[in-house]
Chain A
Amino acid sequence: MRLLLREAFAAFRRAPLLSALSITTIGFSLYAVGLFALVAVNMKEALRLVEQRVEVVAYLLHGTPPESIALASQDIAAFPEVERVTFVSEDEALKRARAELVEFRDAYRDLAVNPLPASLEISLKDGYRDADHTAAVAARLKGYGFIDDVRYGREWIEKLDRLRNIAGLVGLMIGLAFAAVAVVIIGVTIRLTVLQRAREIQVMRLVGATHGFIRGPFLLEGAIKGLLGGLVAIALSYGTYTLLRGQIQLATSDIVFLRSSQVALGVCFGVAIGFLGSLMSVERHLRNV
């Protein structure tokens, strides 16, 4: 075991430049993944914040009797998805419009009749605020005869959702491209090390070292490079996150960093790249010694 470690680390001394290059490439591979993961994670966070405020607004026909509205409110409040139902009367709607839309205050003041409809503002429970559940609630609301129109931010939610998926995919693709480059560079490093150690490998075989023993240091070397690459990527990602934190805000809260489980997954991925890169080339090159 000590010999294995010694050999694995000696490889770094033998080819410091190529070793640094493979670590850097793995680092950048995972940094690319990390950046897009950051974007995706924060879009998800933004989505959560937006979804928290998702309301379905049902506009009522003018002249709907208050008893019907009260009954319907109770009914709707009993939907499994619904958290709260608030009735906004025509007068209240006008008052709000005057308060919120300062530019039109004069126009609203001079109106003879109130053009704004009364509405039911329905907020959904946590876990039901996604596009599908919102649409289901909206469809049910349309069943009421006195409900004129139902509005909710579906397009907005779906667009954000799609954007998040694209960010994740782009990150993954760029990451994979870098990973492929990393695998090639690791292959070159191993070829070099195998050539430098050809004599040693010949003697090992001659005296009866097992194949696993001979290739062990190469695989360990690859895995260590992957680990170091993963750490480089985390440092870069965290640095970027720190720089951006002051600049970008998600609604009212700060942008978030990856969870520790996601960071760990990234490092494991780095180790896997390094290990696989070694595994793929070590057999081929050992055969030529």
Chain B
Amino acid sequence: MIRFAHVSKDYPKGAALKNVSLHVAKGEFVFLTGHSGAGKSTILKMMYGELRPSAGDVRVSGYSIGDLSAGDVPKLRRRLGVVFQDFRLLEDRTAEENVAFALEVTGARRDGIPARVMRVLTQVGLAAKAHAYPQELSGGEQQRVAIARALVLDPAILIADEPTGNLDERATRGVFQLIREINAAGTCVVMATHDLDLVKQTTYRTIELREGQIVYDSGAEAGAAAAEDDL
């Protein structure tokens, strides 16, 4: 699914990533941990084609990020779902409309949209609040809408950058449980977090970053072996 080979990212002020190599296999769940500024978001941004490596090779779902053409970016993004700490919902649209938006702007058939939207809203447990606007929803509910929007295009990979960073403990538990269910249903998940309690609850593979380098990877071998065939 995902392969980083000796990847660096340089900024004028210094390197954000140094010689990072990793494989993520189909259907895997991977935590990216590390302090703020360690390089978690930089890795995720490369995965969805927002950043290009300064050196090394990044491959995601068959695309080489280093030489992604302008036309490839949308194609890659349609195979991924991305969620953030700040939800990134459109305030002037209801939950339902926010989810439908992803389908509308990617040219989905109009007559199929309502059913697909209801299906994912049900999956994230928000069918009853389909007509609520973001400001009428709790943080946890807003993140569920964002996850529904990420899922509605049936992505092979869900990329989550600190999805629980803005949530209280109860909402965190609920959203994390939802992400686990999504992974259990077959979607590969890469989740950046600095919430070590979450990480400790599970036996998922954990990659720890420090100052742009991988200092620990609990599943490097397994991941590498599995990743070889499904790139």
Contact = CB atoms under 8 A, between A and B. Distances in A.
A38 to B, nearest CB: 46
A205 B101 contact: no
Given A3-B104, A213-B107, A208 B90 contact: no
Contacts of A3: 104-105
A41 to B, nearest CB: 46
Contacts of B104: 3
Interface stretch (A158-166, A171-179, A195-203, A263-271): A195-203
Given A207-B153, A208-B153, A209-B106, A200 B74 contact: no
Q: How large is the interface on A (under 10, 10 to 19, 20 to 34, 35 or more residues)?
A: 10 to 19
Interface string B71-105: 10111111000100000101100000000011011
Contact of B70 (A208, A211, A213): A211
A205 B77 contact: yes
B106 A207 contact: yes
A209 B74 contact: yes
B90 A203 contact: yes
Given A207-B77, A207-B153, A208-B78, A213 B88 contact: no
B149 interface: yes
A206 B88 contact: yes
Contacts of B105: 3, 204, 207, 209, 213-214
Contacts of B91: 199
Contacts of A252: none
22 contacts: A3-B105, A199-B88, A199-B90, A200-B90, A203-B90, A205-B74, A205-B77, A206-B77, A207-B77, A207-B102, A207-B105, A207-B150, A207-B153, A208-B74, A208-B77, A208-B78, A209-B106, A210-B71, A210-B74, A211-B70, A211-B74, A214-B105
